[in-house]
Amino acid sequence: QAQLQESGPGRVKPSDTLSLTCGVSGYSIIDEDYWWGWVRQPPGKGLEWIAYIYYGGDTYYNPSLKSRVTMSVDTSKNQFSLKLNSVTAIDTAVYFCARYHGVRGWFDPWGQGTLVTVSS
């Protein structure tokens, strides 16, 4: 059974780069049926899809964030990562990683989420 766990700094300074990693256990990230994604949730607000990546490295980004986002995958470590540059206060959110079914189009399971605060 797949389990996902986010890791990374809980605080990032404005204009810096937010970097998060999602470790996957109990399941190989090398699976042709799944993509691996990120969704964020500002405090008290709704969900926003950021991006997802295939084990081979193909990516899809939310156009609203595309200029600032980069995803990568490390199959040897069974993990994938997110970088969001030039952050501002509006990037403060809980960041979730999740497995995405490429054909059926659902996110499951999700990591527990990690709060990233953008503040000097």
Nearer to other proteins, 46 or 56 (CB): 46
| Shortest Cβ 77–other proteins spacing (Å) | 22
| Shortest Cβ 120–other proteins spacing (Å) | 28
Site for other proteins, rule CB under 8 A: 39, 46-49, 60, 62-64, 96, 101, 103-113
| Shortest Cβ 92–other proteins spacing (Å) | 18
**Cα 81 to Cα 2, 29, 69, 104, 120, distances in angstroms:** 17, 12, 11, 23, 24
- Tell me if 5 sits within 8 A of 95, measured CB to CB: no
Nearer to other proteins, 5 or 78 (CB): 5
Q: Which positions ≥6 away from 9 have C-beta within 8 Å?
A: 18, 19, 116
| Shortest Cβ 61–other proteins spacing (Å) | 8
SS3 90: helix
Report strand pairing: 48-53 vs 34-41.
antiparallel
Q: How many CB atoms lie within 10 A of CB 22?
A: 27
57: its two tokens: 């490295």
Nearer to other proteins, 44 or 76 (CB): 44
Nearer to other proteins, 27 or 49 (CB): 49
